[in-house]
Structure 1
Amino acid sequence: MHVLVVYCHPVETSFASALHQEVLKNLRAAGHTVDDCDLYAEGFDPVMSREERLGYHDVPRNQQALAGYVERLRRAEAIVFCFPTWCFGLPAMLKGFFDRLLMPGVAFDISDPANVKPMLTHVRRISAVVTYGRPRWMAWYMGDPPRKMVTRYMRRLTANQARADYHAYYHMNVATPPRLARFLQKVGQAMARFA
């Protein structure tokens, strides 16, 4: 499969960075082609401008500012997101990626507003590798928006045809090296079996 890996963390020495490298290594070893989209390294601009918002529904002109990213998304047969959870949500950079890229004519057809049609039906697999600072019960209490974004919203854009999985490490605030190593190994194994 051709896998788009969307990575979002500004620090190259972070545990998220180690997870990102484990994802890439194991997907490639499993024979997948990988498009590594490192949002910070690429200098992705997460801010939707006034002009962009005014032209949001103007298909296909709305895609001009992100033409390269639109093409990368259209080539993807699978997507793996790798990011930390901050304030119980997506990092602003990744939220901006969703806001700007998942637009009419790319992620959904809104020509009939009463019957919006998903357009990411070419995506067969969605996965996420995510860290949380707090425990699982706290994420659940807060509604766990990142989990819902990946396992519900992204699946909806594939007409609920893509299989989705979510690999979460909770309570980074009290992480220990052995527990981190076990999670890293678990993620590597999941990516090695990715299909």
Structure 2
Amino acid sequence: MRVLVLFAHPCEDSYGAALHRRVVETLRARGDEVDDCDLYAEGFQPILSAQERRGYHDLSHNRESVAGYVDRLQRAEALVIVCPIWNFGFPAILKGYFDRVFLPGVSFRMVEGRTQAALDNISRLAAVTTYGSARFNAWLVGDPPRRIVTRVLRGAAGRLARLRYLAHYDMNRSTLASRAAFLDRIAREMRSF
């Protein structure tokens, strides 16, 4: 299976980077073809320009500035997002990726004024995340990242896409044992992904 791994964390020595390495290593050991997209390392520019916004709905030109990223997304059969959750949201670089790459004609089609899934190539979707606070606190604010993955991204991939949302909550009070256990869980989940 061709898996696009989207990684968004600026620090190579972070726990998030350890999660990213575990995901990539496990998928490769399984025999998957992994396209490892480290947004920070690749210098992805997250800012949607005025020109890009004006041409957003122009299907003949809207992907020109991000064509390589669009091609990678459209070649993938599975998508795995690895990132921390900061202030109950994605890192800005990842949000910018969604704004600039999940375009009309790429992740959705407009049909009679309604959106329709366009990422039919994605049959599996996973998010591997960490939250500083407890799950209850994320629940109190509606857990926007979980909703985006389980509703918006899954909606772009289609209802039949298999989905896993894997989160280590309460990182502010995590222990070596809790972090090691989560790394082990990620390996198990990716082996059966």
Question: TM-score normalised by the shorter chain: which range applies?
Answer: over 0.9
In 2, the alpha carbon distance for the partners of 1:59 and 1:79 equals 23
Pair 1:141 & 2:147 matched:
no
Counterpart of 1:28? 28
TM-score (norm 2): 0.98
**Distance in 2 between the 1:75 and 1:116 partners?**
21
User: What does the per-residue CA deviation read over 1:73-113, in whole Å, with 9 as the maximum and x for residues that have no partner?
Assistant: 00000000000000001111100011111111111112x34
Match in the other structure for 1:116: 115
Answer yes or no: is 1:104 the counterpart of 2:104: yes
What is the RMSD of the two structures over their aligned residues, measured on CA atoms?
Answer: 0.8
What are the equivalent positions in structure 2 for 1:67-82 lying under 5 Å apart? Answer: 67-82=67-82
Quote the offset at 1:149 in angstroms.
1.1
Query: How far is the alpha carbon of 1:159 from its aligned partner?
Result: 2.3
Q: Is the 8 A contact 1:46 1:97 kept in 2?
A: yes
User: Are 1:128 and 2:127 an aligned pair?
Assistant: yes
Distance 1:113 1:29 in 2: 44
Unaligned runs of 5+ in 2: none
Aligned position for 1:179: 178
Letter in 1 for 2:168: Y
- The amino acid that maps onto 2:180 is A
The 8 Å contact of residues 60 and 105 in structure 1, kept in 2 or not, is answered as no
Match of 2:14 in 1: 14
Q: What number of residue pairs does the alignment pair up?
A: 193
TM-score (norm 1): 0.97
List gaps (5 residues or longer) in structure 1: none
Q: Secondary structure at the match of 2:157?
A: coil
Match of 2:167 in 1: 168
Counterpart-to-counterpart distance in 2, 1:62 and 1:42: 21
Distance in structure 2 (CA, Å) of the matches to 1:172 and 1:104: 36
In structure 2, what is the equivalent of residue 159 of structure 1?
Answer: 158
**In 2, Cα distance between equivalents of 1:84 and 1:62:** 29
Quote how far apart the aligned CAs of 1:153 are.
0.7
Partner of 1:86: 86
Separation in structure 1 between the aligned mates of residue 154 and residue 169 of structure 2, nearest angstrom:
23
**CA distance in structure 2 between the partners assigned to 1:113 and 1:40 by the alignment:** 37
Give % identity.
49
Aligned with 2:114: secondary structure? coil
For the 8 Å contact 1:129–1:166, the answer to whether it is kept is yes
8 Å Cα contact 1:121-1:161 kept in structure 2: no
Distance in 1 (CA, whole Å) between partners of 2:108 and 2:158 is 10
Amino acid aligned to 1:28: R
Query: 2:48 & 2:63 partners in 1: Cα distance?
Result: 12
Q: Aligned residue for 1:189?
A: 188
